[in-house]
Amino acid sequence: MLRSPGLILAAVIMASVALVAGLVQLQKPDTTAHDNPRAAMATPAAHTSHETFYTGKSLTTGPEVTAACIECHAQAAQDFMHTAHWTWAGDHAERDGQSVAIGKKNLLNNFCISVESNWAACTTCHAGYGWRDENFDFAEATNIDCLVCHDQSGQYRKQGGTGGMPAADVDLLEAAKSVARPSRVNCGTCHFSGGGGDAVKHGDLDGTMVHPTADIDVHMGRYDLQCVDCHRTTKHEIAGRSMSVSISNTRRATCVDCHAQTPHPDQRLNAHTTAIACQTCHIPEMAVRAPTKMTWDWSKAGEDRPEADPHEYLKIKGEFTYESNAAPEYYWYDGHAERYLKGDEIEPKLVTQINRPLGDATDPAAKIWPFKVHRGKQVYDTNTNKFLVPKTAGEGGYWTDFDWDQALRLGSEKSGLDYSGEYGFAATEMFWPLSHMVAPANQALQCADCHGAAGRMDFEALGYKGDPMQRGARRQQGVLRQGNEGAR
Amino acid sequence: MSKREFYTIHERIWHWLQALTIIALMVTGFEIHSPHVFKVMGFETAVRVHNAFAVLLLINAALGFFYFFTAGLLKIFGPRSADFMHLAILQARYYLFGIFRGDPHPMQRTPENKLNPLQQMVYLSILNILLPVQIVTGILIWGAQRWPAAIEQFGGLGLLIPIHLLTAWFFLADTIAHVYMTTTGPTIFADIKQMITGREAEGGH
Amino acid sequence: MNRLLLHSTPVALALILSTLAPTAMAGALHPEVQLLDVGGQPVTRSGQAVSPMRSCGGCHDTKWIEAHSPHSSLGLGEPGGREYDAGPGSINRFDPLTYDRVSFDGEFTFGIADWLKRHGARHVGGGFATHDADGTPLTDLESAKAGAFTHALGDDGEAVVWDWQASGTAEMNCFLCHLPTPDDQARRLALAEGRFGDVATATLQGAGVAEQTASGWNYPGVAPDGTVRLPIESPSPQNCGICHGTTVTAPGDPFFFAPSADRRATLTTGSIFAPGRIPRSGMNVASRDSLARPWDVHAERLLECTDCHSSVNNPAHFAESSETRPQHLRYDARRMDIGEYLLQPSHEFARGRSAQTTARRDLDDSMRRCESCHQAEAAHDWLPYRDRHLMGLQCEACHVPEQFGTTLANIDWTILDRDGEPIRRYRGTTGDPDDPRTLVEAYRPVLLPRADASGQTRLTPHNLVTSWFWVDGSTGAPVSRKRLEHAFLTGDGFHSSMLKALDATGDGKVSASEQGLYNPHQVNVLAARLEEVGVSDPQIRGEIQPFGTHHGVATGRWATRDCRSCHGEGSRTTEEFWLADFAPGGVMPEPVGDSGVEFAGELKISECGHVVYQPDPKLAGLYLFGTSRAAWADSIGRLTVLLVLAGVFLHAGLRLILAQASRREERS
């Protein structure tokens, strides 16, 4: 057996092949990719065309369409009704020892202020039909608007001022047949136009993302990712946290869902990831094309000025400033925020921070994030020192009658706040962390954009003793709080 | 009569491994020398593959030499009788004239006496001159990476590489000639078959 | 383990000494200075110009500093140079880029005062601007016969005595390099107008503490006794760039710079020291949108010139050279203390060994090299035959693969244009280099063998600038500009004989395309004209000056990584490097003799008639696989194989034929 020539031959061949292959391989450089985000992306479910469905059905109203959907997707409807897109309340906050659900339905912001008393207009962006007042039936499944997220026919619109009903000229049957996985257009229908117009609110979400180029957003432009590729959804629970209405740090959509934590070939750049969020370097500017609103002074509303430029003044809203391609502001953020809740007292001479990012240089869990900061002046009760909810839209609203007193009375009835009859305007700030408009990697911030004389970071204001390039990271500078080091 | 085993499994394996290795080295070597003319696998890969096969060649040559030496087979390559030159001339005449006339092969081959005098001379020079020169210059050229100062002592790459290159050309010429000469057996493929199976060729000579 | 602790003293010292970021704190570190004039009086009382030697000399040993400042001496007093040079430095070596030679010996054609007026912008002052070669202050010199230090060119081109008392002398100008915002415009104006004593004060205007009046100087913001707090700092790249090359500090700066003799490194090599990515700048570089790389990676990483080119006795950077350092020591921690250093900071700056710097050769290789900071072995694991590459190539060979600034290629002094300027041609562009819209294509520097400090010959990237100029055949000295202008130009244009010779189209004008000595007749006409003005045996000489490119460093994927760049037919190491479209007067240029570069290659006229240089690394002992040829081995080898093949085919053919013939016989 041992002397079998065939065996010897085979052994020699295998040994030679192994030797040669091994030697060739040995000389090859290590080109293992640091980062392989494609591998981490979820594969979407296969699409089932609904073109041939709904035979014999009359789909003339929104709820009728929803009823048709529920015939097969009853569980989906139930799942959806537990989510924040339906309830407009996701997180909970402590108020007088009690846990209160907070969200868009009852929080104030410094844009259009609050949806309470203005439901019929504001709920045009609710994924439901008929939320015209406080008596909306959240338990009724046919009130769900499936089409706003799933329609792909392109002609589906919700009529303003109706509490989210479809526009009259929409062919609901065609819409129902076209349903598929939500695209950027679906999400953008609402999220691009927050604050009353395209690009107004977020600073990093606007209509240019429908067909973006790579330099507007590299994920959506170069790779045609849809929103739901990053905002992964299971049982209609969509990942993602907006600091405007959420204060918790769970179920986020993060860069490291797909990318490696230290994806750079350069070690110095990887070292930044302990203190700097990915977004800080990779979103060098916000509102890359369309300008975003940076300030909103409600106190100037109601004046009869010539409205030459709606980007500067509108009688119904007041004075604004817009900026495009602007540098963000940078603050520490550990994922949690402090929120101004309806009914909290303010110090009217100081700027009230509607939603302050928590975290500072001493906290190892905090990182420096880029923010759009929207500054404004909005109405408050000068006796109780609390921000008030005005009725702006609809009958008797400020936008119709330009009467603050009336608007505040009507708004207070619905919001539950006391209105003493005397009002003023106090300054506010609202923080919008940026995660979209990610520039291609070769346009990320460079060293000198943050460090050095021409840099955009104020290191001392951020809590460092000086520029980390010279003095070392937080650990070296002795800035980190003891005991928490290493905890992430 | 039963066919005798002319080439043991060891000789055959060594031979073919040597052949494969030398061909691989020639192909990759010529690509390294003129990458714009021979575009087989890319310059970088050619360098790596050339190095890998060079190691294989070294091992094979060393093991082969060891085997031949310890098995007492080295005498195959050397002259066996005083009339070596006479036999050599006879052989030469055969190749130049006799083969055309259909003359019988002048040498009776036995397993102990496989190589005709001309073959002995050629193989001896290949194995004792060309191969060592190629191996040594090859190691020194590779060594320019490791021991750069020492290599300068040997004349530097400017001397080593042309020698290596010239020897490579000679190997190419020898390979062509060698392959052709295998067709001078009883049949065109008889000798090659002999090197594969090891058994004596049909109508042996 | 705390990284900062590991680096101990040098880093601490560096932090103190090299204040990089001029925050509000940094400028305030320097104590108040009392501004004194040349006589030692506070300038607020005398209204005179500031004397940096006196003012700064209150704390710093300015005489010592000036004595240890090659920026001031520029080679005066050093031996060296070619046979027609008076020395090896910028002041006494013939430089075709500036052309004007101070006539230190022989007939007066150009004086120190003239040099300062025309070229003083690139001089920091002091040295020959205040003293003559023997150390006598210029103001004390007696003028006997016309000499470089005592005389200057008058309006009619004749030598006149220069009154140094009236003009003042240009002292070493501390403010130029040590103020973050020196007023360079005012300084140049003072130089051009010959008001040398005002130069330093003009520079100080940038700090807002000096104002020129009709009768002298006013000093707002300065205390009555002359004391003022100035934002004195260690020089930033902006300071160095005033004279040396294009430097930018803000990455988003959409800068545009036209090529200028003032920014010499950029003019001669194309390197730009800027942190931003190329598409963010205002330079019209071809294919710039695909060049998402920083101009220079060290600039991007916020290194400054002084980080590498530090003062040779700066205790933070000082590293004893391996020549004197004993073998058992890697690093000798004993050094000058800060106070001693600040008293006498040497202004001899560390430098490498470039082809173009020929003065103060003792300062060669005093700078840290790439390997002092970088671990090339660790970063180049992917590179086959890594050590061989690191041995045969300078880092810059792969890490400065191309240069994007408008780079000078040749300069033709054999004829002058209407303004008395030579014809300059640039690489990669044919349009007007002063126009931001002119497209510039990057060029690949030529790789030439050069011995480094350890004697190792390595391929180093260079730009070659070729110049042609007239020389006096008897002395070998270049003909002065004064003579050239006198010979070629009249009051309103070209001399008639020259015009006739050059005007090929006969339209009475010499157009841009006609400006060149294309045939021997033209050469003879101009030579005759030069003889008429007193040049004996006028000849044309061509000179090639190599300029090493060391800035504009690329990293990562922008460095050369493809084997085929050098190994194979289109190899960089053997490609023709364009020098000029034609050789004026048919004179082939010669490499300048003292650059240290081995011109291992062939200077020739290419197929399209251009003057090109084709390097051949094999001539320098460097053999490259795939590129270098061993012609004799290939020839003999090929011949052998062909013969064998021929023999085989013949033999086989014959056997085939005969076998067929015998088979036919058998059948029949």
Backbone torsion region of residue B182, taken as left when φ is above 0, otherwise alpha when ψ lies between -120 and 50, otherwise beta: alpha
Q: Does C5 lie in the same domain as C75?
A: no
State whether C71 and C129 are in the same domain. Answer: yes
Q: What is the mean pLDDT of chain C?
A: 88
Cα A279 from Cα A370, distance rounded (Å): 7
pLDDT at position C16 is 45
Nearest-Cα residue of chain B relative to residue A15 = B56
Cβ distance A470 to C21 less than 8 Å, yes or no, reads yes
**Residue B2 pLDDT:** 62
Among partner residues B48, B53, B198, which is closest to A27 by beta-carbon distance?
Answer: B48
Helix, strand or coil, per DSSP, at residue C398: helix
Q: Is residue C599 part of a domain?
A: no
d(C-alpha C443, C-alpha C609), whole Å: 20
Return the number of other C-beta atoms located less than 10 Å from residue B82's C-beta: 7
Q: Is the pLDDT of residue B81 over 80?
A: no
CB of A411 within 8 A of CB of A388?
Answer: yes
Using a CB-CB cut-off of 8 Å, the residues of chain C touching B99 are: 655
Residue of B nearest to A28 (CA): B48
Q: Which of A29, A30, A454 sits opposite C249 (nearest CB)?
A: A454
- Taking the CA of residue B49 and the nearest CA in chain A, the distance in Å comes to 6
| Any domain includes C465 | no
8 Å CB contact between C189 and C200: no
Residue B114 has pLDDT above 80, yes or no: no
Backbone angles phi, psi at A228, to 5 degrees: -75, -5
Q: Residue range C277-283: average pLDDT?
A: 94
Nearest by CB: A30 against C23, C252, C381:
C381
Asked whether the predicted pLDDT for residue C284 surpasses 70, the reply is yes
Say how many CB pairs under 8 Å bridge B and C. Answer: 99
Paired strand residues for C137:
C131
Asked whether the predicted pLDDT for residue A77 surpasses 90, the reply is: yes
pLDDT of C516 above 50: yes
Contacts of residue C231 in chain A, CB cutoff 8 Å? Answer: none
> CB-based contacts of A338: which residues, under 8 Å, 6+ apart?
A247, A353, A355, A356, A358
B26 vs C contacts (CB less than 8 Å): none
Distance between CA A111 and CA A374 in Å, rounded? 9
Burial of C406 per CB tally in 10 Å (0-12, 13-18, 19+) = buried
Q: Which domain holds residue C651?
A: 632-668
The per-residue pLDDT for range C376-407, each reduced to its tens digit, is: 888 888 888 888 888 889 999 999 999 999 99
With CB atoms and an 8 Å threshold, state whether C15 touches A442: no
CA distance A30 to chain B (A): 14
Report pLDDT for C23: 38
For residue A290, what pLDDT is reported? 95
Q: How much of chain B exceeds pLDDT 70, in percent?
A: 96
The answer to whether B122 and B159 have CB atoms below 8 angstroms apart is: no
In this structure, the number of other CB atoms found within 10 A of the CB of residue A68 comes to: 21
Task: Report whether pLDDT(C38) > 80.
Answer: yes
* Interface subset of A 244-273, CB within 8 angstroms of C: 265-266
* Predicted local confidence at residue A78, as pLDDT: 95
The band of A12, judged by pLDDT with boundaries at 50, 70 and 90, is: confident
* Calpha distance C475→C101 (Å, rounded): 15
Statement: residue C201 has pLDDT above 70: yes
A484 — pLDDT class (breaks 50, 70, 90): low
Q: Do residue C353 and residue C217 come from a single domain? A: no
In-domain check, residue C442: no
Chain B interface mutation, best of A2, A19, A26, A31, highest count of B Cβ atoms under 10 Å: A19
Residue B97 lies in a domain: yes
pLDDT of res. A94: 83
State how far the alpha carbon of A455 is from the alpha carbons of A153, A434, A446, C632, in Å: 47, 20, 10, 61
Chain B neighbors (3+ CB pairs < 8 Å): A, C
Q: B106 in a domain, yes or no?
A: no
pLDDT at C648: 92
Is B149 part of the contact surface with chain C (CB cutoff 8 Å)? no
Of B17, B45, B198, the CB nearest to A16: B17
The pLDDT of residue A487 is above 70: no
Is a pLDDT exceeding 90 seen at residue C354? no
Tokens of C23: 């925050």
Supply the range of the domain harboring residue B34.
Answer: 9-75+90-101+112-197
What's the domain count of chain C? Answer: 4
Q: Is the pLDDT assigned to residue C173 strictly greater than 70? A: yes
pLDDT at C453 over 70: yes
Asked whether the beta carbons of residue C563 and residue B34 sit closer than 8 angstroms, the reply is no
High-pLDDT (> 90) share of chain A, %:
77
Quick check: is C363 in a domain?
yes
State percent of chain C over pLDDT 90: 56
CB B107, CB B186: distance < 8 Å: no
Interface partners of chain C (CB pairs < 8 Å, 3 or more) are A, B
| Residue contact A476–C3, C-beta within 8 A | yes
Residue with tokens 């460097």: C622
* CB of B180 less than 8 A from some CB of C: yes
**pLDDT over threshold 70, residue B46:** yes
Mean pLDDT for the stretch of residues A172-189: 94
Cβ contacts (< 8 Å) between C568 and chain B: which residues? Answer: 35-36, 43
pLDDT digits (tens, 9 = 90+) for C216-255: 899 998 999 999 999 999 999 999 999 999 999 888 889 9
pLDDT at C21 over 80: no
Q: CB burial class (10 A; 0-12, 13-18, 19+) of residue A427?
A: middle
Contact (CB, 8 A) for C467 and C368 = no
**Minimal Cα distance from C5: which residue of A?**
A476
User: How would residue A33 be classed by pLDDT, with cut points 50, 70 and 90?
Assistant: low
CA–CA separation, A352 vs A388, rounded Å? 13
Highest mean pLDDT among A468-472, B116-120, C453-457: A468-472
pLDDT band at A424 (very low <50, low <70, confident <90, very high): very high
Give the domain CATH number at B151: 1.20.950.20
C228, C262, C280 - which closes a domain:
C228
Task: Flag whether pLDDT at C47 surpasses 60.
Answer: yes
Choice among A105-119, A388-402, A438-452, C476-490 with the minimum mean pLDDT: C476-490
B-chain residue closest to A14, CA distance: B17
Whether the CB of A215 is below 8 Å from some CB of chain C: the reply is no
* Chains adjacent to A (≥3 CB pairs closer than 8 angstroms): B, C
C633-655 pLDDT, tens digit per residue, is 999 999 999 999 999 999 889 88
> Quick one: pLDDT at residue C1?
42
Residues of B in contact with C638 (CB under 8 A): 169
Task: Give the 3-state secondary structure of residue C211.
Answer: strand
Q: What is the mean pLDDT of chain A?
A: 91
At residue C6 the predicted structure's pLDDT band, cuts being 50, 70 and 90, is very low
Q: Is residue B85 part of a domain?
A: no
For C8-58, what is the HEC assignment?
Answer: HHHHHHHHHHCCCCCCHHHHCCCCCEECECCCCCEHHHHCCCCCHHHHHHH
- B43 — contact with chain C (CB < 8 Å)? yes
Interface contact flag, B51 A16, Cβ < 8 Å: no
Stretch A260-277: mean pLDDT: 92
Determine how β-strand C211-212 pairs with β-strand C217-218.
antiparallel
- B148/B145 Cα distance (integer angstroms): 6
Whether the predicted pLDDT of C20 surpasses 50: no
Q: What is the mean pLDDT of residues C437-444?
A: 95
Work out the pLDDT band at C538, boundaries 50, 70, 90.
very high
SS3 B95: helix
Does the CB of A27 have a partner CB in chain C at under 8 Å?
Answer: yes
Distance from CA of B174 to the nearest CA of C (A): 8
pLDDT score of A80: 96
Indicate whether C27 pLDDT > 70.
no
Which one, of C308, C289, C286, lies nearest residue C235 by Cα?
C308
- Residue A415's pLDDT is 93
* DSSP string for A148-188: HHH--SS---BPTTTTSPBPTT--HHHHHHT--S--HHHHH
Spatial distance between the Cα atoms of C580 and C558, rounded to a whole number of angstroms: 28
Residues of C with CB under 8 A from a CB of B: 384-388, 391, 563-564, 567-570, 618, 621-623, 625-626, 628, 630, 632-634, 636-638, 640-641, 643-645, 647-648, 651-652, 654-655, 658, 662
- Residues C196, C320, single domain; the answer is no
| Residue A31, pLDDT score | 61
Q: For residue C122, which of C38, C231, C245, C238 has the smallest C-alpha distance?
A: C245
Searching chain C, which residue's CA lies closest to the CA of residue B145?
A: C388
pLDDT higher at B52 or C105: B52
C506 pLDDT above the threshold of 70: yes
Whether B157 and C634 lie within 8 Å, measured CB to CB: no
Do C188 and C43 lie in one domain? The reply is yes
- Residue A325 sits at the chain C interface (C-beta within 8 Å): no
Q: Are C356 and C74 contacting, i.e. CB atoms less than 8 angstroms apart?
A: no
CA angle, corner A173, sides to A169 and A176, nearest 5?
115
> Using CA atoms, how far apart are residues A288 and A206, in angstroms rounded to an integer?
10
Q: Using CB atoms, pick whichever of C15, C294, C302 lies closest to residue A451.
A: C302
Q: Which residues of chain B make contact with A15, given a CB cutoff of 8 A?
A: none
Confidence of residue A30 (pLDDT cuts 50, 70, 90): low
Distance of alpha carbon A231 from alpha carbon A212, whole angstroms: 18
For chains A and B, CB pairs below 8 A equal 35
pLDDT at A166: 95
Residue A323 binned pLDDT confidence (cut-offs 50, 70, 90): very high
The answer on C82 and C10 residing in a single domain is no
Least confident interval from A177-181, A305-309, C352-356: C352-356
Whether residue C53 lies inside any domain: the answer is yes
Domain count, chain B: 1
Asked if C430 and C409 count as a contact pair (C-beta separation under 8 A), the reply is no
Residues C8 and C62 grouped into a single domain:
no
| Residue B156 CB neighbour total at 10 angstroms | 16
Is pLDDT of B184 > 90? no
Q: Is C246 helix (H, G, I), strand (E, B) or coil?
A: strand
